[in-house]
Every structure is written in C-alpha cells, then in structure tokens.
A and B are shown apart, each in its own frame.
Chain A
Amino acid sequence: MAEGRGLASYILTRLILAVPTVLILLTIVFLIMRVAPGDPAQAMLGAKAPPSQLELLREHMGLNKPLYMQYIDYIFGVVQGDLGKSFQFNTPMWELIKPRLMATLELVLYGFTLAVGLGVLLGKESAKREGSWGDFLGDLYGIAIYAFPIFWVGIMAQLIFGIELGWLPTSGRFGAMAPPQTITGLYTIDSLLQGQIDKFIVAIKHLILPATVLGVYISGIFTRITRTNMLQTLKEDYIEAAEARGIKEKLVVNRYALKNALLPLITIMGLQFALTLAGAVLTEVTFNWPGMADFIVSMAIERDYPAVQATVTVFAILVASVSVLIDIVIGVLDPRIRF
C-alpha cells in the first residue's frame, strides 16, 4: 500500500521533472536553427529570388517577428502538437513525420532489443567465466564490434545476404507491395493485428538486415557494460551470503547478480538510446530505410527549414521521453529509489 503510493508519487515527480528537460531541449533546437548562418527564406528561394517574394516567405515563416515572439510561437506550437507546416508540401509537419518516425521506431525497436538481448547474454556468460578464454572472446567482441564502421558492416551484409546469397532485400521497408493498413505504424505489428501473415513476412524480411546490423553494432557496448556490472555484483556480499545458504548457482547468477547488474545497465541504456538513434541514422542511409534520418537529409537538401526544425524537435522529444520511461522502469524495479 505504502509502496504503491511511493511509486505513484515517484512517477509523478519524474513526469513533472521532464517538463524543464524538454523545454531546455526545445530551446536548444530553436537556438541552433536561428544561429545557423544565412537567412532561411533566402536559402530556400535561392540567391536570385525577387525581394517581394522573399518578404512574403519571411512573413509566412514568421521570420519578421521579433526573436522572442518566434520562440514563444515555436514553444506554444509544440505544446499544442503543432510542428508547423512544410514549406514544400504545405501539409502539417506531423503528418509527414509520423510515418517516418514509426519507420525509425520499428528499426530501433528491433535493433535495440537484439542489442540488449545479445549484449546481456554475452556479458553475463563472460562475467561468469572471468579470466577464461570465453571471457576473453566476449570482451574482445564488446570492443571490436564497436570499432567496425557501421557503413562497412552494412554494405558487407548487403553484399553477402542480399546480393551473393539473395536471401534478403537490401533496401527499403516494404518493397512494391502495399503496406498493411496503419494502426500503429509499425508494419510488423499492424500486419499481425490484421492477420496478414504474408505482409508480416515481407516486413520482417526487410527488417532483418538493417536491424541486425544496428543491433549487433550497439550490442558491443551492452556486452561490455553487462560484463563490468556483473563482475562487480558477483563480488557483492549478498552473493556470498546466498551461496552460503545453498542457493543454486543459476539462481544466484540470475536473480542476484544479473538483476542487480541490470539496474545501472538500464540507466545506461537510456543514455545509449540517443546513440542508437545516431546508429539508426547511419543504418537508414545505408539501407535506404524511409525513416527520420532519410527524411531530415532530404529536407536539408531541399532547404526546407521548418521541416528540419520539426524533425529535430521530434528527435529531442523522443530522447526526453525515453529518459523518463527509463527512470520509471528503474523505479518499478528498484525498491530503494521510490522515496
């Protein structure tokens, strides 16, 4: 009872504390967009644009207003879920970004899950055998994988599994077939929800290479962090005490050492999420994945400033939300934190 209340108030505090974090992130996004050299309107229309047209666009983009008004407009817009309109398409930004965001999330979801699964497994097995050959290999994996350029790994994977063996598609998210009707925006989930196994298989086939490349790449960090934390928790007094009570080794490793080692790991996972997004950017480019990275790059080339600003804003909110989510997960798992 008291425990439940502790948890609820903990979660509430986290949510409230997230507000200034998001505000700071949005401010940074705003400042960066303003500090970027050149006049956005000029950049969008090109050097030879007539002044009248330029003036019109500046008005349209709100660039005529004083800076603080622009700032207030931006923040209030975001709060109301209004990310502005794309200059090129004249559609609300959110409609353009949403499918891209879901594509990125689908890639990151599978990649991240694989990374955590692989990293925790290898790290745990490594730590259990500290000092052995197996441990050395696990440790080597943790360091070496991260040292490979993700582009190179991606291209090798495409060459081998896509071109040489012809097993898997090497680019895009769904090929020529019509994607499943949108429920969540994640193709694998939507197809399953609608019982379309054939579409599910297509979606998975497209996901395998990019998600594996991304997942394996990031798993190196998780392997190292799990190993280090496990080695530390295996030396804790409660491990020795559990052994002295005759608790089976498997339970001691999983229920005592791993669970306790996972707490710092989860925190670090939250921090790594931004890094995973960066990895996802590279992966998306390599595999032509129609996600946020692909979008922001083409918008930047088109000099669609409102679109770039909106995409970066979504990234920022995503990172902040994940960090809140991680805090809540930790609060649920660790009874010492809920006070």
Chain B
Amino acid sequence: MNTEQETGEKPNISIKNLDITYNYENDSEEVKAARDINLDIKNGEIVSLVGESGSGKSTIGSSILNLLPKDTLTRGKIQLDGKNLLELPENDIREIRGKDISKIFQDPMGRLNPLMTVEQHFIELLNEHTDFGKEKAIEKSIDALNDVGIPPNRFEDYPHEFSGGMRQRIMIALALVLNPRILIADEATTSLDVVVQSQILNLLRDVTEKYNTSILNITHNLGVVAEISDRVVVLYGGKVVEKGSAEEIFHKPKHPYTKGLINSVIGLDTEELEWVEGTPPDLVNPPSGCPFHPRCPQVMEKCKKQFPEQTGFNDSHKTWCHLYES
C-alpha cells in the first residue's frame, strides 16, 4: 500500500457498526448475517473481504447498494460523502448505483440482457445517469470497452456472441464507464478458468489504478486475495475477526481462524476455504462469546461467554481474539 500518502487517510466509503438481519419482518427465522461490521475503504485501495461460504461477504457487499431483500433489517451507517446510504430514499440510492458505486458479479454468463446488444446496455446506462448526447455516449462506451480489451467492432454484438471472460470484461466496462468511486466485485473471477481469472484480476488492478477507483473484492479464494489486495478483512460468522495489510494477513496471521485458513492453503494445495475443521456457525442462533469457539483449537473458558475486544498490533493490523487481550 503506497497510495496512502497520495490519497491521504480520508476514507472513500466508511461502514460503521453495520448489523444485517435477514427475515426481520416475515415469518421465517431471523438470520443475523452481519454483526457490528466496521470497514473503511480509501481512494484507490483494493480491500478484500474473505471468509468461508455463509460468513456474510455478499450480504455486506449488497448492503452498500441497498440491494438486499425487502424484509432485511440494516442498522448502522454506510457513509459516502457524508450521506448514510442506508437511509437514502430509493430514488437517491438508485442514482448512486452504477455511477458512484458499481458492482460486478460471479458468473458473467447470465448478467447481460440476452435481447440487448452491448451498445444498448451502454446507451441505457448512460441515459440513466447522464445527459450525454448519443455521440458522446458511444464515444465513452467505446473508450471503456477499449480499456478492458473489447474491440469496437464487437460493440453491436449480442451477449451470446461472447465468451464468459469477455462478458466479464464487458461487465467491468459497464461498471467503470461512469468512473465510479468504488467497485464491488463479488466473486468476480470465481467461475472463470484460471488463465482468464488472472487476466481479469490484472485488468481490474490496471483500470482501477488508472482511474483511482477503490475495490471491495469479495471472495473465498485466497489466491485471488493474494494477487490483488492492499488490505484484507477476514469474516467469520458475520463478524470481522481480523484485518490487516495483505502482507500481515498472509505472513503474520494472528487469529486462530485466519491461521487455519492460511495454513490450509499452504498445506493442502487448495485455494478454497473449506479446510478449517468443523461446520460453519448457525446464524439464527449464533454461538455466544467468540463465534469461532466451537471450532477453535485454542479455545478458553471466557471465549464461550464474551466476545473479545479489538487488539491492535499497529495502525492497520487488528484482531478480535482473547489470546491477544492483555
């Protein structure tokens, strides 16, 4: 992370005490998918959110653009330019979507409207958020496609005429054409084969560097995390258990869960996060105290009763574990 000096410490987006509960207003059981999340992302910074399946990564990503199901309770703040995105009326948040904050997804195959050409997708988007004339809109779109390596002669083609990797490039171009402040990438490379995956990651890094866009990178693939992140936030059972620079998380992990993850990758030659023993916690009735205690090899008595306080090792590296409390 060497952009800190240039961009200063002021966060681009700042998540404070975010709680997210699914099924809050219907008959199904409430799912506490995220609890007390705090997270700042600075300009041009790439932050990865990692954790096993069901740890709440996508939930947090979706909450930023207010894309959660209707019956979901969100508490806390997600601040951008002094506005709390969670409290914005639908129309205002819609104006932010695709313009100030964009999102790309896993499985690019089905993300474009099969009945619309690439051009129509771009024109629609630019009509929605700008008052560019048609000529300028086309010029902007071609530039954006050029940035992601899609030649202009493909502009009028339909989605089914592109490969998966190319469709993800188109999605990225759509996400970046309005020069957003933040790009949320939810498993954006997961369904692509390894070569394409690494091309897309390089692309993301280059383009965001060029336009100083921040990325919230959501993934359970540690290889991806290592390749792209400035900082890493580790989630477990809807809680942040450790965060730090990529260097710190990979080389000096502190939390037993993070250690388990990192070791499993090294030991088992896999990049999936399924190798910490035991089952993920129940989010309807989350474990008391530290959510990791039923699986923790170093569990202590107080772990079962009390959620640990934050322990800071330096400005960036923090963990929540009783082992480090003095």
Contacts and interface: CB of A to CB of B under 8 A. Distances in A.
A246 B115 contact: no
A138 to B, nearest CB: 20
B1 interface: no
B129 A255 contact: no
A165 interface: no
A240 B105 contact: yes
A238 B97 contact: no
Contact of A242 (B113, B158, B160, B175): B113
Nearest to A336: B160
A251 B124 CA distance: 10
B226 interface: no
A333 interface: yes
Given A245-B128, A251-B124, A335-B160, A256 B97 contact: no
A245 B105 contact: no
Contacts of B94: 246, 248
Size category of the B interface is: 20 to 34
Contacts of B105: 237, 240-241, 244
Contacts of B128: 245-248, 251
Nearest to A256: B113
A259 B115 contact: yes
A247 B65 CA distance: 13
A82 interface: no
Contacts of B31: none
B233 interface: no
B280 to A, nearest CB: 24
Interface in A244-264: 244-248, 251, 255-256, 259-260
Given A237-B107, A238-B110, A240-B105, A245 B115 contact: no
B236 to A, nearest CB: 26
B60 interface: no
Contacts of A241: 103, 105, 111-112, 171
Nearest to A131: B26
B176 to A, nearest CB: 12
Nearest to A337: B160
B98 interface: yes
B95 interface: yes
A237 B99 CA distance: 20
B111 A238 contact: yes
Interface string B96-124: 11110011010100111111100000001
Nearest to A237: B110
Given A335-B115, A335-B158, A245 B102 contact: yes
A334 interface: yes
A244 B160 contact: no
A259 B129 CA distance: 23
A75 to B, nearest CB: 40
B99 A246 contact: yes
B125 interface: yes
A230 B117 CA distance: 21
A39 interface: no
B174 interface: yes
Interface string A183-194: 000000000000
Contacts of B300: none
B112 to A, nearest CB: 6
A236 B110 contact: yes
A95 interface: no
A9 B165 CA distance: 30
A247 to B, nearest CB: 6
Contacts of B112: 238, 241
A106 B112 CA distance: 40
24 contacts: A237-B105, A237-B107, A238-B112, A242-B113, A244-B65, A244-B67, A244-B103, A245-B98, A245-B102, A245-B175, A246-B97, A246-B98, A246-B99, A246-B125, A246-B128, A246-B129, A247-B128, A248-B128, A251-B124, A255-B116, A255-B124, A260-B114, A335-B115, A336-B158
Given A238-B111, A246-B99, 12 more contacts: A241-B112, A243-B97, A244-B65, A244-B67, A245-B97, A245-B125, A245-B174, A246-B96, A259-B115, A260-B113, A335-B114, A335-B115
Interface of B: 65, 67, 94-99, 102-103, 105, 107, 110-116, 124-125, 128-129, 158, 160, 171, 174-175
- A-B pairs, 8 with minimum CB distance: A246-B97, A245-B98, A246-B98, A237-B110, A335-B158, A244-B103, A241-B111, A246-B94
